[in-house]
Amino acid sequence: MGAAGSKLEKALGDQFPEGERYFGFENFGNTCYCNSVLQALYFCVPFREQLLEYYTSNKSVPDAEENLMTCLADLFSQISSQKKKTGVIAPKRFVQRLKKQNELFRSYMHQDAHEFLNYLLNEVVDILEKEAKATKTEHKTSSSPEKIANGPKAPLANGVHKEPVVTWVHNIFQGILTNETRCLRCETVTARDETFLDLSLDIEQNSSITSCLKNFSSTETLHSEDKFFCDKCCSLQEAQKRMKIKKPPHILVIHLKRFKYMEQLGRYKKLSYRVVFPLELKLSNTVEPYTDVEYSLFAVVVHVGSGPNHGHYVSLVKSHNHWLFFDDENVEMIEESAVQTFFGSSQEYSSNTDHGYILFYESLGPTK
């Protein structure tokens, strides 16, 4: 392991980024799903910065309650403060906490990296929201009694309390989709907004992320038993429906739906389809003024294996213009051109089972 670390240091030489650390993670019996996602999140710089900031401010709180977020902040701090530039770290406390909190991740069976990412981000959001509400309550109770007793302000304070808390996780990962439905009888357009922390895309053989995004935003006609209830017509009508990105996120996380339930087989099957994901991505299915927002790829979580119930996860990460390959304890440098070997297979049966599964893109321009 030490040899692998020194090999990476030799490969980077004097190009080793100042202050950066490249550490592999020990595997605690099938925890590669967790390791691969944590590496991608560590190299998501805005996420790392916020978590380290949280660690610093939380350190001064006496008897701070341990939760998944404090364990993650401890782990990130442990990596960033290492004297060595490379090596191996055991994310033992984090994994123990994860298993304690969620029975889904308790077994030694093959877990899903996307499910884990979803759970982790939502858990961090919940913790931040609870802390923000607790701070607000403390602030309110420490206010002067006259202000609290002031009649008209009480309902307003309750109203403010019910407003959704916007956390730094939302600022980094959250985008807004708008679901537009146009009644084909009266032409009235109904729009409904919904937020997302990642986009799950259906995939096709020999396609690209751009074409998958176009399909995601394609117009669908609602007819027969799928008719839409139009409020203006007060009846079920045929309609056209489409989804657009109203506000793109700063960090765009794309999940490729590689595991599909096959009715005739009665089980899930892995789709090894070749889906090209570019290093630079332009979003064109967006609402004004976000037309043609550009993104740059900085991490890929890869599923290795031919089926959904077994296999392995690794991650590719771009750090300071270098691409690195993280496989549990092992970290090595790879050429940028090697990223395309993880697009998938053009043939149904191929010896290549290493396929891009979760993609992380960072916006190159303003998305606010």
User: Which residues are tagged catalytic?
Assistant: 32, 312
Encoded tokens for 292: 């043609």
Instruction: Give, to the nearest 10 degrees, the angle between helix 45-59 and helix 32-42.
Output: 90
Phi, psi dihedrals of residue 346, rounded to the nearest 5°: -75, -25
Encoded tokens for 57: 């401010």
- Which H/E stretch holds residue 182? strand 175-183
Question: Hey, what long-range contacts does 152-157 have (CB within 8 A, 24 or more apart)?
Answer: none
Distance CA 139, CA 229 (A): 46
- Collect all residues with Cβ–Cβ distance below 8 Å to 187 and sequence separation of at least 6: none
Which residues pair with residue 251 across a beta bridge?
A: 362
Distance CA 297, CA 276 (A): 12
- Which H/E stretch holds residue 51? helix 45-59
314: which DSSP letter? E
- 363 near 294, Cβ under 8 Å? yes
Omega before 289 within 30 of 0, i.e. cis: yes
Residue 203 to residues 184, 216, 343, 357, 362, Cα–Cα distance (Å): 29, 10, 12, 11, 22
**Coil/strand/helix, residue 192:** strand
Instruction: Give, to the nearest 10 degrees, the angle between helix 113-141 and helix 32-42.
Output: 60
220: which DSSP letter? E
What b/e string do you get for 236-246 counting C-beta neighbours within 10 Å, with b at 16 or more?
A: ebebbbebbbb
What b/e string do you get for 349-363 counting C-beta neighbours within 10 Å, with b at 16 or more?
A: eeeebbbbbbbbbbb
